[in-house]
Structure 1
Amino acid sequence: MKKIFILLASAFLYTAASAQTTWTADKNHSNVKFTVTHLLVNDVDGTFKNVDATIVAAKPDFSDAKVAFTVQTASLSTDNENRDKHLSSADFFDVANKPTLTFTSTGITKTSDKHYALKGNLTLAGVTKPVTFDLWYRGTITNPMSKADDAGFQLTGVIKRSDFNFGSKFGAAMLSDEVTIKANGEFAKAK
């Protein structure tokens, strides 16, 4: 009987220790930004304001995190109405036919304190490719308004437009092939 009790207690402790927690992005404090170089001399920035993201982790340092996000491409803003219309067209995001940009992580490796290499699959304009981003876990705090735990993250990296056949009508002299991605997220712990 004592052995059965010990086995049950061990199973319970293992389950409790490995319980995963889901964290959901606060849309009011999260976004995805990009930067591309125009005509080889000037950076142009854009922001996606409608982002749904989740992080699932069992470890408090997020070293086992699984990250997923979906961006509504129609929420694009570059602070220029004509440019936004062009970027929404079939030349680029093709918002009418491909309304989302998605990322799903496939692995995470700690690179230093609170910094990780986050591997995953990025789908952009209907093309899915493996990418690696840098993920910075900025810390966890009790939100004074909601009294819930909030965690902050910043994701950064560089992708190539050509890998996704994105904006293929426009050569690197017009728009850089490399696009810098920066995402900031404030995530609330599920209750």
Structure 2
Amino acid sequence: MKKLFIIAAAALLNTAAFAQTTWNVDRAHSKLTFTATHLLVSDVDGEFKDFSASIVAAKPDFSDAKFSLTANTASVNTGVDQRDGHLKSADFFDVATYPTLTFTTTGVTKTSENKYKLNGNLTIHGVTKPVSFDLWYRGTIASPMGGKPDAGFQITGTIKRADFNLGAKFGNAMISDEIAVKANGEFGQAK
């Protein structure tokens, strides 16, 4: 009987492992953005144009999702070349030393229908900190181009510049310490 239990448990674990599905970001339909307040009166938006992301999940509601994201810090774009150059410098992202920022999931907690708390580790400027974002699972549809399905997500939240030693010379009155983060992602199931 004990042997039968061990065989059944091994079969269940194998089934669970095979049930995990990988989803890759569709960059043409996804965006990674941020907003900072300048001089306490004006919001400045930016984005990272070069990034990759994937999700691994076994449950159809993505309640067990593991997100992984890497963005090229040199791809930061606010629409103003001089500001972008400053953001790439050692004052902020220091892209020569820290060419990427990364996020990996440590846990997902359901808060309501299709809404979750997404917890993970964010690494920027060589500093890794735990962060928590709001995650909205927008649904899964059959791909209009045929083939595998697509799933949509929106992630929102705030991080603090000071936590990652970004722009330490510039106080909150010049550039807000709190930076709003928003990511809209469309992910295709891996083939």
Same fold flag (TM > 0.5)? yes
Partner-residue secondary structure (3-state), 1:64? coil
* Cα distance in 2 between the residues matched to 1:15 and 1:162: 44
Q: Which residue pairs with 1:149 in the alignment?
A: 149
Contact 1:30–1:51 (Cα < 8 Å) also in 2: no
Matched to 1:147, the amino acid is G
Q: Which residue pairs with 2:56 in the alignment?
A: 56
Q: Which residue pairs with 1:42 in the alignment?
A: 42
Q: Which residue pairs with 2:28 in the alignment?
A: 28
Partner-residue secondary structure (3-state), 1:83? helix
* Cα distance in 2 between the residues matched to 1:111 and 1:12: 32
Matched to 1:186, the amino acid is E
The alignment's C-alpha RMSD in Å is: 1.9
Gaps of 5+ in 2: none
Map 1:1-191 to 2 at 5 A: 12=11, 15-16=14-15, 19-191=19-191
Contact 1:31–1:50 (Cα < 8 Å) also in 2: no
Q: Percent same amino acid among aligned pairs?
A: 64
Matched to 2:128, the amino acid is T
Partner-residue secondary structure (3-state), 2:157? strand
Partner-residue secondary structure (3-state), 1:129? strand
* Cα distance in 2 between the residues matched to 1:162 and 1:56: 31
The alignment covers a number of residue pairs equal to 189
* Cα distance in 1 between the residues matched to 2:23 and 2:49: 19
Matched to 2:129, the amino acid is K
Shift of the alpha carbon at 1:10?
7.6
Shift of the alpha carbon at 1:108?
0.6
* Cα distance in 2 between the residues matched to 1:99 and 1:29: 24
* Cα distance in 1 between the residues matched to 2:101 and 2:44: 19
Partner-residue secondary structure (3-state), 2:86? helix
Shift of the alpha carbon at 1:118?
0.7
* Cα distance in 1 between the residues matched to 2:73 and 2:28: 17
Shift of the alpha carbon at 1:81?
0.7
